[in-house]
Structure 1
Amino acid sequence: MDIEVLNQMGFITEETIAFIEAVSIVSVETGIAAYAVGGFVRELFLGEKNEDIDITVEGDAIQFAKQVARLLNLTNVQTHPQFQTASVQAPSEGWIDIVTARSEYYPYPGALPVVKSSNITEDLRRRDFTFNAMAIPIRERKMLPLVDPFSGLKDLQKGLIRIMHPKSFHDDPTRIFRAVRYQTRLNFQLEAETKEAMQTALKANVLETISNDRIRNELIAILHEQCPNNALRLLDEWNILKYIHPGLTAVHAYNGLISQIQSSLTQFALLIPFYKIVSWEVYLLGLISILQPDDAQNFLERYHFPRSVQNKIDELRVVQERDLINILEQHDHLKPSRLVELLDGLSKETLLWLMAKVSTPQARFHISLYLRTLRHVKPQINGHTLLKMGMKPGKAVGDVLRAIRKEKLDGRLITLDDEKTYAKKWIDTYLTDGT
């Protein structure tokens, strides 16, 4: 498999080629076999571009990584001796992991694995599914024929998700969540014995053996998917959502909302592509908003979500207190200044949730108008200018600036001179009133 051809076909980048070449050079110099593994191999055979490459070596990964970094003039190498792994930071590819081939066993269900150094076959044996248990040797600037001891390529071609052994879900119950992601992302199906093994594991309550933090991370990964609605439906169908929280099992309550959130995110990305949105937080708001307030708070505390999520839950309460949904749905013609008054202070994520929640096109247009334009409208004049014009420091300065912004939003002030003229009237009023 020629890496130049893969680059020409658009499967890998120039930087990935350089990294593979460096790996092959170090492999020859040290005599340590190196392999591309995991998702990189899977995506390659699916014909998908994948910039994330993971390397497994049959030897000391830490020293191997340092030599690769030296060849590429890269200086940032993170090492984790207890896990026999290292990560090299490439300029545009992010962190690339280099790992010592290892075998592992789980001392009890849900535990983190105990590992020891091994060979590539044993390393592949510990993977979650057969299509992730493939490797491509890297040597002499080439990616050599596939190492596939567990027939992962055949399952990949058939669109089957197959575990490596019957107790796989008992060893690591988070594989259940990963199976959901693969089934919805790749449109694959669980192989019959794998499905039976999952049902057996769920009946044995294996999810109770993993920490809430790990469940939170898996839920976030699902909400990161391009189409989380299908994944959430599967979680409900497999009775997993009710374990996460009993209040999340009413599929009809959030299915339409999650689909509408997806539409809102797509529209926003097209209209304002340079703004970064934490999309999984928008989807999480969609889920949490169907819970009662006390249940929502319990959910956040149970799974230790970051403070940024708590802030957005607080914003949902603001939405309710301001009666925003009713106001936006019942008024087709709202002045720009009124929209700003209603929506200022809400995060982009909460606004996108709100855009999905409202039921009328005009309400969605108003929120979109605020996101695209109105929230950026600010007076050209500032507090320093007002003080030079004769105002005294204090609350009144802020009042004048807010009044100018309101007039500017509604189109009554256009130029800087307009703003100064308007400000002078305010200042004269304040001075006359003795304030």
Structure 2
Amino acid sequence: MVLKNFDRFFSPQQWQILLTTAQIAHDLNIRAFAVGGIVRDAIVRKHQVSPSFPKDIDLVFDGSARAGITVAIALHEVFPDSKLQIHEKFQTAELIWQDFTLDMATARREIYAYAGANPEVSATTLEEDLWRRDFTVNALALELDPQLGIKGEAIDRFQGLSDLVDRQVRVIREGSFAEDPRRIFRAVRFAIRLGFQLEQATHAEIMATTASGIHDAIGGARLRSELLYTLAEPKAAQMFALLQQLGALRCLHPALTLPADLTNSFKHQWRRSQYWLRLISGIENKNYAPLQLGLELLLSYLPPALATQLDLNLTPEQKSRQIGLADLLDNLPNLANAELKNSEMAQNLQRFDTQLLILAGAKCDPIFRPMLWRYLTQWQLVKSPLTGADLQLLGYATGKRMGETLKLLRSAALDLEIQSKEEAIAFLAARG
């Protein structure tokens, strides 16, 4: 298949960078290829008039060891406004611009010491490099040419073009999921994102791999990354629903079970938590991490004793929130007692941090949600009408008594007993 007008899938800046890259590689006697997602998406979107420009462009270079790094260093000299990052262990480099990243890899083979391990890599040819990839639709390549842009037809060793036509995700080789269970998460992401199905044999292999238990509670930084990538997807809830059907959530823990109506319940909880987070962040001017909050929401379906022991590099604060969330959800009926004053409910909730309260608001029974919302958007922002300096002018000495007085005034303000400095002074006078 010849892909015409490949340049229209890139911004003018990106296309100029690609042509320069091809020229540098040619001068170094190195072959340069666009591979994977950028080729797949260009083929899928070939009839689209104005596609959005890619944020990540994957290139592979063969011809020598460190070929990708060598070209990246030379390209950075031409475009010094980019940021260069080199990963010697994997023979890769990245050039980062403001709105996109160029991933530049040496064609390589990978050897896994054990299932789920980081690979040991060595330089090889493009043809062998394609063999190590995960799915046929991600193993397509186009050779770059400094004059023509691309040279020849799309390189397709595994019938990836046919799978694009058939709208299916098919694994390249048997044993791929046993070798690296994170590929299960990528298979699901591609299938849902592209509107494809898992090819029958691929589906069966995933089911057999997860049922074997070899990846139960495997954890690790790379699994955490796959979870965050999935949470970042617009159709994250559908993806987690499919991951659960496939048994892939056992990679976190065999006891992790999401709601039966996951697509609806998780979707609404996830969206609500993000909505609350945006609003509360604006109110408090804090920079919370939405994907980290999504990870905590996902893990909250495990008992806290299990969630806090997972190998997912959770911070002490995240572990503490798992425990606190379970405690809060259990005690919400008592904390939301209609006989309690605003100040009493606020005092009960102030021991929980904002992110925990947002998670509780996403998961709790709807009857408790207004109380949490009022606390987050109103009650926690209420202060005493009088400051410590005001109290000093009234004859109060600094110390424990002043602190108790400020707390009393804040409670009165929460209960709408006072609303101004004058009312606060009269309130204190009446109490003697």
**Same-fold status (TM-score > 0.5):** yes
Per the alignment, do residues 319 and 421 of structure 1 end up closer, same or farther by CA in structure 2, a change over 3 Å counting? same
Q: What whole-Å deviation, never above 9, does each CA across 1:306-327 have from its counterpart, x for those lacking one?
A: 2132131132155157x22554
User: 365, 368, 382: which is aligned to 1:363?
Assistant: 368
Letter in 2 for 1:57: F
Per the alignment, do residues 420 and 266 of structure 1 end up closer, same or farther by CA in structure 2, a change over 3 Å counting? same
Query: Does the 8 Å CA contact 1:324/1:342 hold for their aligned counterparts?
Result: no
- TM-score (normalizing by structure 1): 0.78
Letter in 2 for 1:123: D
Q: What whole-Å deviation, never above 9, does each CA across 1:294-340 have from its counterpart, x for those lacking one?
A: xx22332132442132131132155157x225544x64x98654553
Letter in 2 for 1:422: A
RMSD over aligned CA atoms reads 3.8
- Whole-Å separation in 1 of the counterparts to 2:380 and 2:59: 46
Query: Does the 8 Å CA contact 1:65/1:88 hold for their aligned counterparts?
Result: yes
Q: Which runs of 5+ in 1 are unaligned?
A: 7-11
- Partner SS, residue 235 of structure 1: helix
Matched residue, 1:312: 321
Matched residue, 1:302: 310
Q: In the alignment, is residue 70 of structure 1 matched against residue 73 of structure 2?
A: no
Q: What whole-Å deviation, never above 9, does each CA across 1:380-407 have from its counterpart, x for those lacking one?
A: 7644554466433323343344344444
Matched residue, 1:375: 380
Per the alignment, do residues 210 and 312 of structure 1 end up closer, same or farther by CA in structure 2, a change over 3 Å counting? closer
Q: What whole-Å deviation, never above 9, does each CA across 1:61-97 have from its counterpart, x for those lacking one?
A: 222212222222236422222211122232343x542
- Whole-Å separation in 2 of the counterparts to 1:21 and 1:396: 73
Report the alpha carbon displacement of residue 51 of structure 1 after superposing the two structures with TM.
1.0
Matched residue, 1:5: 8
- Whole-Å separation in 2 of the counterparts to 1:143 and 1:411: 70
Query: Does the 8 Å CA contact 2:385/2:409 hold for their aligned counterparts?
Result: no
Per the alignment, do residues 377 and 157 of structure 1 end up closer, same or farther by CA in structure 2, a change over 3 Å counting? farther
Report the alpha carbon displacement of residue 162 of structure 1 after superposing the two structures with TM.
0.7
- Partner SS, residue 80 of structure 2: coil
Query: Does the 8 Å CA contact 1:34/1:56 hold for their aligned counterparts?
Result: yes
Letter in 1 for 2:74: Q
Paired residue total: 414
User: 113, 122, 125: which is aligned to 2:119?
Assistant: 113
Report the alpha carbon displacement of residue 166 of structure 1 after superposing the two structures with TM.
1.7
Q: In the alignment, is residue 103 of structure 1 matched against residue 112 of structure 2?
A: no
Q: Which runs of 5+ in 2 are unaligned?
A: 46-50
User: 49, 55, 62: which is aligned to 2:59?
Assistant: 55
Report the alpha carbon displacement of residue 101 of structure 1 after superposing the two structures with TM.
1.2
- Partner SS, residue 143 of structure 2: strand
Matched residue, 1:44: 42
Letter in 1 for 2:199: E
Written as runs of structure 1 = structure 2, the 5 A alignment for 1:46-195 is: 46-47=44-45, 49=52, 50-58=54-62, 59=64, 60-74=67-81, 76-93=83-100, 96-140=102-146, 143-144=149-150, 146-195=154-203
Per the alignment, do residues 117 and 289 of structure 1 end up closer, same or farther by CA in structure 2, a change over 3 Å counting? closer
- Partner SS, residue 302 of structure 1: coil
- Partner SS, residue 309 of structure 2: helix
Letter in 2 for 1:51: K
Matched residue, 2:48: none
- Partner SS, residue 69 of structure 1: helix
Report the alpha carbon displacement of residue 164 of structure 1 after superposing the two structures with TM.
0.9
Report the alpha carbon displacement of residue 143 of structure 1 after superposing the two structures with TM.
4.3
- Partner SS, residue 207 of structure 1: coil
Matched residue, 2:424: 422
Query: Does the 8 Å CA contact 1:227/1:262 hold for their aligned counterparts?
Result: no
Matched residue, 1:9: none
Letter in 2 for 1:167: G
Q: What whole-Å deviation, never above 9, does each CA across 1:284-303 have from its counterpart, x for those lacking one?
A: 444444444xxx22332132
Per the alignment, do residues 106 and 306 of structure 1 end up closer, same or farther by CA in structure 2, a change over 3 Å counting? closer
Letter in 1 for 2:257: T
Matched residue, 1:346: 352
Identity %: 27
- Whole-Å separation in 1 of the counterparts to 2:116 and 2:301: 30
Written as runs of structure 1 = structure 2, the 5 A alignment for 1:205-284 is: 205-207=213-215, 212-242=220-250, 244-249=252-257, 251-252=259-260, 257-265=265-273, 267-268=275-276, 277-284=288-295
- TM-score (normalizing by structure 2): 0.79
- Whole-Å separation in 2 of the counterparts to 1:185 and 1:245: 25
Query: Does the 8 Å CA contact 1:102/1:116 hold for their aligned counterparts?
Result: yes
- Partner SS, residue 99 of structure 1: strand
